[in-house]
């Protein structure tokens, strides 16, 4: 393990510890570390703007953890090694933007399939159809920024934004209805 990988793993372990402490304190801990919480999730130290999301994240964490344990295959579908580098896009050697994609590259258009996996994400703003954490530490260090990680994820969520580039160099396209 390199020093850089150790830093990434340590960051993730600290983040998971914060979630555990927050659950054990019934959501109070995020308020104690409010500037960090605000920067981690929203990229902004002005925590007072985001206080309503702190308690929502408590309920989201409990629901997500419960569903991860109970939902068959959830742990393998979103497995992320602790030493993975932060990412803000999927692996370009495995995926590319679908030719049929009619929205800006930095958006998910009208799709929110992966945002609401297992439980509805508390940081997804339905009214504006956007992620409130887009581009932040949380987004880059965990699954959001690197989605999709695998062809299985692409298929499971029926993602219209990306195409899988298989090893033979052919493109496997997922259409909005799931047919090929």
* 46-68 pLDDT, tens digit each: 999 999 999 999 999 999 889 88
Q: What is the pLDDT of residues 87-116, one digit of tens each?
A: 988 999 999 999 999 998 888 888 888 888
**164 vs 95, 99, 100, 113, 151, CA distance in Å?**
5, 12, 14, 17, 6
The first and second tokens of residue 160, run together, are 């219209």
Number of domains in the chain: 1
CB-CB contact of 167 with 173 (8 Å):
no
Q: Assess contact for 83 and 7: CB atoms under 8 A.
A: no
What residue numbers bound the domain in which 86 lies? 3-164
The answer to whether residue 33 is domain-embedded is yes
Identify whether 62 is part of a domain: yes
> What is the C-alpha to C-alpha distance for residues 111 and 11, in angstroms, rounded to an integer?
30
| Interaxial angle between packed helices 51-70 and 3-24, expressed in degrees from 0 to 180 and rounded to the nearest 10 | 100
Residue at 173 is within a domain: no
Residue 118: what pLDDT? 81
Predicted confidence at residue 111, as pLDDT, reads 87
Query: Is 11 part of a structural domain of the chain?
Result: yes
> Among all chains, which residue has been given the structure tokens 């692996």?
91
Q: Which two tokens stand for residue 38?
A: 């605000």
For residue 178, being part of any structural domain is answered with: no
What is the pTM for the complete model shown? 0.81
pLDDT tens figures, 132-169: 999 999 999 988 888 998 898 888 889 999 999 976 55
For residue range 12-35, list pLDDT tens digits in order.
999 999 999 999 999 999 999 999
Q: Is residue 175 part of a domain?
A: no
């Amino acid at each position: 393990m390199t020093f850089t990988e150790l830093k990434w793993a340590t960051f993730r372990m600290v983040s998971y510890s914060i979630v555990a402490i927050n659950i054990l304190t019934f959501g109070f801990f995020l308020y104690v570390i409010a500037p960090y919480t605000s920067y981690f999730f929203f990229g902004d130290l002005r925590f007072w703007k985001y206080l309503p999301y702190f308690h929502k994240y408590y309920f989201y964490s409990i629901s997500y953890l419960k569903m991860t344990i109970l939902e068959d295959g959830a742990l393998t579908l979103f497995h992320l090694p602790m030493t993975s580098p932060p990412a803000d896009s999927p692996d370009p050697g495995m995926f590319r933007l679908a030719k049929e994609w009619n929205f800006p590259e930095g958006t998910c258009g009208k799709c929110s399939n992966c945002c609401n996996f297992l439980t509805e994400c508390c940081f997804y703003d339905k009214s504006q159809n956007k992620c409130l954490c887009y581009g932040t530490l949380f987004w880059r260090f965990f699954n959001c920024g690197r989605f999709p990680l695998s062809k299985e994820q692409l298929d499971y969520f029926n993602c219209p934004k990306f195409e899988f580039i298989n090893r033979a160099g052919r493109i496997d396209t997922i259409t909005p209805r799931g047919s090929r």
